[in-house]
Amino acid sequence: MNKCLNCGKEVKNKYCNSKCRNKHNPTKYIPTLEAIEKQKLVIKNRWKTFNVVCSRCGKSFQIREFNVNNPKKENYYCSRSCSNFRLHNNHTKNKIKQSLINYYKDHSLPFKNDGQPKNKKVCPICDKEFYVPNCENHRIYCSKKCYNEDKHCKYRKNASGGYRRGAGRGKSGWYKEYWCDSSYELAYTIYNIEHDIIFRRNTESFDYIWKNKTYKYFPDYIVENEYVEIKGYETDKDRSKYISVNKPIKILKTKDLKYALDYAIDKYGKDYIRLYTNNPHNDLTNTCKVCGKACKKKSTYCSRKCSGMGNNKYSKWKT
């Protein structure tokens, strides 16, 4: 027997455990890249693939097991549905039924008060009586099927939908009694007004189908009995909208609106969106910390450049 070089206990080798070894000789082992790759390869080779059969449906599939020569379990299942499948015989069914009967002899039924239902209702579609708890007293129909049959909303409020102002991602607002949903539409509106081109906002809708669902499409403008759509970025959904229009329609993209954009920028500057009525961009009551220019009321900086300079941890403007 030897004595531990660290604590002096009798041991077979030099140390009694790794803790004593690390205290006596605290040198750290730094593995090389070759050793790391070799260890990864050893671990990878311990994983083995086996072909097994689902115990429920008989479907064959593959599994991976670690450091074994044969599959560990007796039964394998190909999916969660096969794993959770339970087949009850008549004896088990009768046993469950009897236990429920015995339970509700001493307990009230769900949604019942002294043996009487809380709220009785009649479905307006199929005239079927059904019962609901107080938390569902607003319910009108007995099932989803009856709800879908009331397509014209005869017994309920009509669902919201259609064209909604400001629902898009563009910078929207009013300009001389015309609503614009983006800066492109604003430039188009400015050009038409100042060049005496007669146009109006469209309110007519067209039904189109996208991914087996029906939606409504509202083109932007009507100019000389022709629909006009302002589109900066086009997707497959937008193309399905255009097909639904059975009248002449003109699609104006960025390159097609260059004349209107150049006109608005040359006359009013790049910030021509300030022309919107009651625009928050016009409320320049604050002063930029970095350059001293006027900025919006709730802003500290006038631009992203000044914001980056002001928020730098070494910045002299940061407080």
Taking Cα atoms as reference points, which of 284, 310, 307 lies closest to residue 297? 284
Res. 50: pLDDT tops 90 = yes
300 by Cβ neighbours in 10 Å (0-12 / 13-18 / 19+) ranks as: middle
For residue 158, what pLDDT is reported? Answer: 67
Taking Cα atoms as reference points, which of 261, 262, 238, 264 lies closest to residue 251? 238
pLDDT tens, position by position, 130-153: 888 877 888 899 988 888 888 777
Res. 4: pLDDT tops 80 = yes
The mean pLDDT of 49-62, rounded to a whole number, is: 93
For residue 57, what pLDDT is reported? Answer: 92
Look up residue 229 and give its two tokens.
């759509």
Among 103-117, 163-177, 235-249, name the one with the lowest average pLDDT.
Answer: 103-117
For residue 311, what pLDDT is reported? Answer: 82
| Cβ-based neighbours of 7, under 8 Å, separated by 6 or more | 16, 20
C-beta of residue 273 within 8 angstroms of C-beta of residue 200: no
**Cα 50 from chain centroid?**
38
Q: What percent of the chain has pLDDT over 90?
A: 20
For residue 282, what pLDDT is reported? Answer: 66
pLDDT tens, position by position, 61-73: 999 999 999 999 9
pLDDT tier at 308, thresholds 50, 70, 90:
confident
Strand partners, 65: 48
Res. 284: pLDDT tops 90 = no
Look up residue 163 and give its two tokens.
């064209």
For residue 103, what pLDDT is reported? Answer: 79
50 or 22, greater pLDDT: 50
DSSP 8-state secondary structure symbol assigned to residue 96: H
| Cβ-based neighbours of 312, under 8 Å, separated by 6 or more | 318
For residue 76, what pLDDT is reported? Answer: 93
